[in-house]
A = this chain, B = another copy of it.
């Protein structure tokens, strides 16, 4: 008998990965958590049957959600990550010497605990003295924080379902308020091939709040369509090229990759331009 884990990426599209073992399966207060071993992508974390992260390709997502924002700021010190309970984003943020505190606001304690147990490399930043884990709803937590952060990162894979209010104008306004006067916000914003309307809507909403709003892209094999977008909004610094030259260890990110990731295919560039003109 063969074991395969299948994600229905859309009603008409699914990705299946051969699995050798189910390591963890639990219904938490918020979602179904599943961790499997696979020959193709190593251990995989799924939440509500959606692939969140895999050992083999997680470096791209986590490097690109963290380093583009952090390299766009001259001295990022105080960082907030909302979601991201697996720890990958925190691990990348901590590579920057100027960071003195990274708070992780994750609603589901079970995800944090499971990552500590099954994904030691992903969760390696949790033991850093600069990391503070807060088990809380990020949309509530951020309301208390005024002018606290240099960088806010929304690291949640699904804009529908339990996290849908992580993509609302009220939430973005609270993020804007929580940022310092030269703060930067970044969020994953789904696939340019499958969710272009969502990308445009996010871009339009953020453009009413921030002077610099850009979409950038990176390939992520285990996410639907294999191409993913991030939207970055900045109060003072143009985030489309790195501001610092100090080097860190990476597998995907490079200063020239930072710049190239903002060069968008014509169909996406045109869609964003057209929507702004309206």
Contact = CB atoms under 8 A, between A and B. Distances in A.
Interface of A: 4, 6, 10-18, 38-40, 57, 60, 193, 217, 219-221, 225-227, 250-254, 256-257, 259-260, 263-267, 269
A10 B40 contact: yes
24 contacts: A4-B14, A10-B40, A11-B18, A12-B18, A12-B38, A12-B39, A13-B40, A14-B15, A14-B16, A15-B15, A16-B16, A219-B225, A220-B226, A221-B227, A225-B226, A226-B226, A227-B227, A250-B266, A251-B266, A252-B266, A253-B266, A257-B266, A259-B263, A260-B263
Number of copies: 2
Contacts of A267: 251-252
A265 B254 contact: yes
Contacts of A263: 254, 256-257, 259-260
Contacts of A60: 265
Contacts of A260: 260, 263
A16 B194 CA distance: 16
Given A13-B17, A219-B225, A254-B269, 14 more contacts: A6-B16, A11-B18, A12-B17, A12-B18, A13-B15, A13-B18, A16-B16, A193-B219, A219-B227, A220-B226, A251-B266, A252-B265, A252-B266, A257-B266
A220 B227 CA distance: 8
A194 to B, nearest CB: 8
